[in-house]
Chains A and B, each alone.
Chain A
Amino acid sequence: MAAPATDRAGSGGQGPSNGPSNITLAKALNDGLRAAMEGDDKVILMGEDIGKLGGVFRITDGLQKDFGEQRVLDTPLAESGIIGTAIGLALRGFRPVCEIQFDGFVFPGFDQIVSQLSKLRYRSQGKLPMRLVVRIPFGGGIGAVEHHSESPESLFAHVAGLKVVACSNAADAYWMIQQAIDSDDPVIFFEPKRRYWEKSELDTSVKPRPLHTSRVLRTGSAATVVAYGPMVRTVLDAAAAADCELEVIDLRTLSPLDLAPVFDAVRRTGRLVCVAEAPGESSITAEVAARVQQECFYSLEAPVLRVTGFDTPYPPSKCEEYYLPDLDRVLDAVDRVLAH
């Protein structure tokens, strides 16, 4: 491992001050990328429109100006090219961070991710580590056209050799992107695009938890609700509105899953609701449900329920409010597990 991410905190001229601040998730990512680039000159950013424009979501705003065109590459418009050449650069000893502009655009690069990125360490038995991050803004709720609102995380979690994480707030965004870049494994890094502009507290003096850990955000005794990425905010709002005490867990890491806190919570509450925007079939929420029934079978007081997107393509945006799990659907599921 390179220097621990904690050593990088606030070292940059435009980075966050060392102490608590209230910043957007987008700015936290920008600060985290800047810190990683300052800490290791082998870290390079690659993607479409990430240089002069700063990315369509401005996550890389100002970085090309400060680090140059050889550290922040405006690439040709080809996702297989982005991932494939980044793999070549990783073989050369670089630590590329690739931006996929929108979730639905990753599939031209899916071949390189599945066939090569995930397998090169295994194929070479450790001689060819893949220190590479693929950042993917994911999820809906922004009124976008087709291919701009998808949640493909389960497709990556199913691939051995990849690590998959999703951040949900500014502090996690700041630390997790640096930890992902520090990782000696390839990391698919999902960013909740509809939460980019929501502010939350980042205190860089607080040491981050390890990357591949889930986190209990709220303790409660009535039922456990698990979510990740953009649904964490939704679930916290639901918990605040509920007339019972809900335990809320942010998974953060989707592969490998860190389910010990979930098992612990389910053994106490006996009830579990899993929430995600992605279709439920063969998904992260399906995996959580399967593991919980295996580990906590005799603790369960009710069937595990899932609140997810439907097993349909992502709908036209005027229909997305029906499609996306919201506070009411979460609370309805909570009512149903509590009815047992």
Chain B
Amino acid sequence: MPSPPHEPPSWRQHASGTHAAATAVEAEPSAEQVIAGLRATSEGGVQLLNPEGERVSHPDFDLEISAAELKSLYRDMVLVRRVDREGNALQRQGQLGIWVPLLGQEAAQIGAGRAMAPQDMAFPSYREHGIAWCRGVDPTELLGVWRGTDHGSWDPNDTGFQLYTIVIANQCLHATGYAMGQRFEGMIGDSETGEATICFFGDGATSQGDVHESFVWAAVYDAPVLFFCQNNQWAVSEPTERQSRVPLYRRAQGYGFPGIRVDGNDVLATLAVTRWALEECRTGNGPVLIEAFTYRMDAHTTSDDATRYRLAEELEAWKLRDPIERVRVHLVREGLAGQDFFDGVAAESDELAQRVRSHAEAMPQPGPERIFSEVYAEASPPVQAQREEFLAYHATFVDTEEPLAGSSIDTEEPLAGSSIDTAGDR
């Protein structure tokens, strides 16, 4: 049985001190040593539901939760995981250019997402499909980013969920500025109606200067922003030990605000701690840092091959801490849900996956005019001229039997690109 994260795991005893690198540089470390090293910064953390599906008490974060709420959280996680697996499959079948899996991080995201109030704003990175779900962004709306038909189609102002941000940690400053605005507008103070901002980023992002600057700014402006770091142990191929000597949550102390680690595979603990942190923010006691200690059970993206840098044993160990399974076991053990419920959720998830698949397969190819759309509020005459010229050029292909531009190497005619440059003085 794996140990809960607030007790040092048994294999931890094999690690030499807190320096993972020390073990990493030794020749041919055993699998156990490698995993021990990777977990060397593991300590503490709030847990309310252990991997065996048993409720655990915590002196600071008690959570009373009804059977209906528990089942709702379970349903959320199952549906989000099913969408995630469908996204992976759609990429493998050529319907998506790439997919970014959230597998293993369902509890961290559903716990955080369900702790948010409607008036709150979320700034995601690019793996937060579970947060999107909680904010009412339909999973089909996520597809365009990964299929390449748009850069994010949902309305952040309607959903309280900003667009995905690909450049690591850029969104942390946006979240901080947005939260400063909440404070400037006097929208904090009341625990019911007050606003808060939540910013999602990963363990790798904590090395970026923008995270440091976000922490500095949020602290000096008392911004109502919750920094929610999903430490999924891997920044593509680099372990957390490549980003930090200390557990990430401890960094907050240096900036003058609280940092707390939560078992990110425990949806109840994540929900309770995030609720508390958002309450702190909306009543004017922000910022707060949460480190959700979790695990990226799939590769970084569908383009990544995680077998090149991490051990199968590690994944097997984390499978025993699966975020969904522990809730299922708990529901069964406590007699809160019967097989009908689980079958119903499974059927619903298959229907959702089918809807996502059908949507992906029917997504239209954007036309060339899309390139020029909304570059500026006030049109740029040079860009307008390029648009008109290219659309006219492109239209010359449409009524022919020839393939469209881009495949012209297969035709006998030379590429007609030079005709774009028409001089006005001829």
Contact = CB atoms under 8 A, between A and B. Distances in A.
Interface in B151-193: 151-153, 155-157, 162-163, 165, 167, 170, 172-182, 184-185
B265 interface: no
Interface string A95-113: 0000000000000100110
B375 A160 contact: yes
Nearest to B178: A88
B173 A294 contact: no
Contacts of B382: 256-257
A301 interface: no
Contact of B423 (A75, A87, A92, A294): A294
Contacts of A92: 177-178, 181-182, 185
Contacts of A126: 374, 377
A70 interface: yes
B371 to A, nearest CB: 10
Given A111-B167, A161-B376, A84 B423 contact: no
A53 interface: no
B217 interface: yes
B170 A81 contact: no
Interface stretch (A10-18, A20-28, A117-125, A195-203): A117-125
Interface string A179-201: 00001110000000000000000
A335 to B, nearest CB: 26
A84 B174 contact: yes
B316 interface: no
Interface in B345-386: 373-378, 380-383
Contact of A299 (B167, B175, B373, B425): B425
A256 B163 contact: no
B130 to A, nearest CB: 21
Interface string A251-293: 0000111100001000000000000000000000000000000
For the complex of A and B, the 6 pairs showing the least CB-CB separation, nearest first, are A88-B177, A84-B173, A85-B177, A92-B181, A184-B377, A81-B213
27 contacts: A44-B184, A76-B216, A78-B209, A80-B213, A81-B210, A87-B177, A89-B180, A91-B156, A91-B181, A94-B184, A112-B170, A112-B173, A115-B170, A121-B375, A121-B376, A124-B151, A124-B152, A126-B374, A126-B377, A127-B155, A185-B377, A255-B380, A256-B380, A258-B381, A294-B421, A296-B424, A297-B425
Interface of B: 150-153, 155-157, 162-163, 165, 167, 170, 172-182, 184-185, 209-210, 213-214, 216-217, 220, 373-378, 380-383, 421, 423-426
Interface of A: 44, 70, 75-76, 78, 80-81, 83-94, 108, 111-112, 115-116, 119-129, 160-161, 163, 183-185, 212, 255-258, 263, 294-299
